[in-house]
Amino acid sequence: MSKIYLTILFTVLSLNFCYGQNAIDIHIAKFKDNKAAAISYTFDDGLKEHNTLVTPWLKKLGLKGTFVINGSKINEDPNAIKDTTRMTWKDLKEMAASGQEISNHGWAHRNFGKFTLAEIEEDIKKNDSAIYANIGAIPRTFAYPNNTKSTEGIKIANKNRVGTRLFQRSIGGKATAENLEDWVNKLLKDQDWGVGMTHGITYGYDHFGNPSIFWDHLKKVKALEDKIWIGTFREVVAYVNERDSTVIKIKQNTNTHYIITATCSLDKTLFTEPLTAILEEGGIKKIKISQGKQKLIPKILPNKVLFNFDPFGDLIEIEIKKKK
């Protein structure tokens, strides 16, 4: 892959150590549920219509987005609005409760190229504190103001997060039905993860000339949900980092019974996204999979079996019954 989009670049470690003559092949899917590609939609700067327009559309389609906000621009008192173009903390709390991700974009949108590291760190922490105080959750991702980054600034932004937005595709004012479709097709062809970024929908910086282009795009992507994982930025970046930091070991007890050990080197208090395992095996009539005391639900396909597991969890036991 030509671009590096992980907050921390890990060496791929999804290795299989097998014992016995009839070893099975189990590895981790590139994306959740073995989807061919992934897309995360991010919305910058806390505009009011992210609550009044975008969130209802996402809810209607059963999708989730990531809303990156500057605390200094958010209206504190819903009964005394200072800026009608911006959301209130009440709006954001309701959005978070409905499953939307609220992310850190800096308290005052400090450009990493124009402020000292101390000022940047203070700005990030202040926004973390404000989001936690008003929403009840610490943001675990970060989007760089003006998309400006520095090596030391990235280190600061990474602290206590699962990832930061290091790349994105603008889908605002320059968007057309054709170039958005080309973007999606390329993601599917390359089996890649795309991060869409927009600010305004009907007003504000780089807003859409015709908002229906975006709504139609979302409907088309929703129709491809069997191939594309549409997840929040936090969900996808956590999955990718966990995937690339997990080692799988396979021990064969009998011809039908296997013990799987998964070891992830990341902080399990931050990284909580289940991973999807692929068992490359055909002709399976029945399979039982459990992790500790929890039964895992397998999806049996003609030549493989999919199941989700906790990379920080207990041993995984697999019992296979083959077709005669």
AA letter at 196:
G
113 and 204 assigned to the same domain: yes
Q: For the beta carbon of residue 61, count every other beta carbon within 10 angstroms.
A: 16
User: 15-62: per-residue pLDDT in tens?
Assistant: 444 444 447 899 999 999 999 999 999 999 999 999 999 999 999 999
290-295: Cβ within 8 A, 24+ apart: 290/316, 290/317, 291/315, 291/316, 291/317
Compute CA distances 278 → 13, 32, 52, 98, whole Å. 15, 11, 40, 31
Find the domain containing 243 and state its range. 25-33+239-322
AA letter at 66:
T
Among candidate residues 170, 191, 225, the one where a domain is terminated: 225
Mean pLDDT of 280-286: 91
246 and 218 assigned to the same domain: no
73 and 142 assigned to the same domain: yes
Assign 317 to helix, strand or coil.
Answer: strand
AA letter at 208:
F
Positive or negative: CA dihedral 42, 46, 50, 55: positive
What span, in angstroms and rounded, lies between the C-alpha atoms of 247 and 238? 16
Considering the entire predicted model, what is its pTM?
0.92
Assign 226 to helix, strand or coil.
Answer: coil
What span, in angstroms and rounded, lies between the C-alpha atoms of 74 and 90? 10
- Taking every pair of Cα atoms in the chain, the longest distance, rounded to a whole number of angstroms, is 72
User: 132-169: per-residue pLDDT in tens?
Assistant: 999 999 999 999 999 999 999 999 999 999 999 999 99
Mean pLDDT of 1-9: 40
Confidence of residue 13 (pLDDT cuts 50, 70, 90): very low
AA letter at 102:
I
What span, in angstroms and rounded, lies between the C-alpha atoms of 186 and 180? 10
Compute CA distances 162 → 7, 77, 128, 236, 294, whole Å. 8, 31, 14, 10, 26
197 and 84 assigned to the same domain: yes
Would the pLDDT of 9 be above 50?
no
Among candidate residues 225, 257, 291, the one where a domain is terminated: 225
Phi, psi of 51 (to 5 degrees): -90, -40
Would the pLDDT of 105 be above 70?
yes
Identify the helix (H) or strand (E) that includes residue 315.
none
147 and 265 assigned to the same domain: no
DSSP 238-249: HHHHHHTTEEEE
Look at residue 5 in the predicted model and tell me its pLDDT.
40
Contact present, 292 and 310 (Cβ < 8 Å): no
Place of tokens 């280190």: 155
Share of the chain above pLDDT 90, in %: 89
70 and 121 assigned to the same domain: yes
3-state helix, strand, coil in the chain (%, to 5): 30, 25, 45
Look at residue 59 in the predicted model and tell me its pLDDT.
97
110 and 254 assigned to the same domain: no
Among candidate residues 161, 190, 225, the one where a domain is terminated: 225
Average pLDDT, the chain: 92
Give 5 or 277, the one with higher predicted confidence.
Answer: 277
What span, in angstroms and rounded, lies between the C-alpha atoms of 290 and 259? 10
- Closest of 137, 159, 142 to residue 42, by C-alpha: 142
On the CB side of 114, CA atoms within 13 Å amount to 9
Please give the tally of structural domains in the chain: 2
* Residue 197 maps to a domain: yes
